[in-house]
Amino acid sequence: METIKQLSVFLENKGGRINDVAKALGRQGINMHAFSMAETTDFGILRLIVSDVDKAVDVLRAENFAVVLTDVVCISCPNVAGALSGILERLAAHQVFIEYMYAFAQGEKAHIVIRPSDLGECLKWLSEEDCDILEGRQL
């Protein structure tokens, strides 16, 4: 099953906290491939895909961050109008709900990180779509 370990970090809403994470990872040569921030009035959850997830967990825990790993699915599809729609339609038709997702496009390709309600079902139906399911190394 091609899932990727995503790093989730608990952050208080105060200046410079995201940078504290970025700095800690940068110092250890860990690259951030993608991230998104979910926020409330007083705290947020920073979700990251990084080059070395195990090392990143150690680095951040040593700095007292609360960190958990979550399985997500990462896909790559053509960076053209309507490409994502077909994928989402397929998932919705099979009762796979999306808890959250984030994406970034680069040249001809678009990469999408999805946290689905059911990982197995999500992967199964995605394999029939015009998209590539990525492994961590491919990001």
Start-to-end C-alpha separation, the chain: 17
**Among residues 22 and 83, whose Cβ is nearest to other proteins?**
22
- Of the candidates 1, 54, 61, 89, which one interacts with other proteins according to CB under 8 A? 61
The residue within the footprint of other proteins, chosen from 5, 8, 53, 123 (CB under 8 A), is 8
H or E element at residue 31: none
Neighbours of 19 (CB within 10 A): 10
Q: DSSP code of 137?
A: G
In the complex, least distance from residue 41 CB atom to other proteins, rounded to whole angstroms: 9
Structure tokens at 93: 């038709």
CA 9 to chain centre: 12
Please report which helix (H) or strand (E) contains residue 22, including its range. Answer: helix 17-27
CB of 120: closest distance to other proteins in angstroms? 18
Binding pattern to other proteins, positions 73-112, x when CB under 8 A?
A: --------------------------xx------------
Considering only residues 47, 75, 87, 91, which one is a binding residue for other proteins as defined by CB under 8 A?
47
5 φ, ψ (degrees, to nearest 5): -80, 120
Of 1, 37, 66, 80, the one binding other proteins (CB under 8 A) is 66
- Centre a 10 Å sphere on the Cβ of residue 57 and count the other Cβ atoms it contains: 18
Task: In angstroms, give the least distance from the CB of 132 to other proteins.
Answer: 25
CB of 32 to other proteins, least distance (A): 17
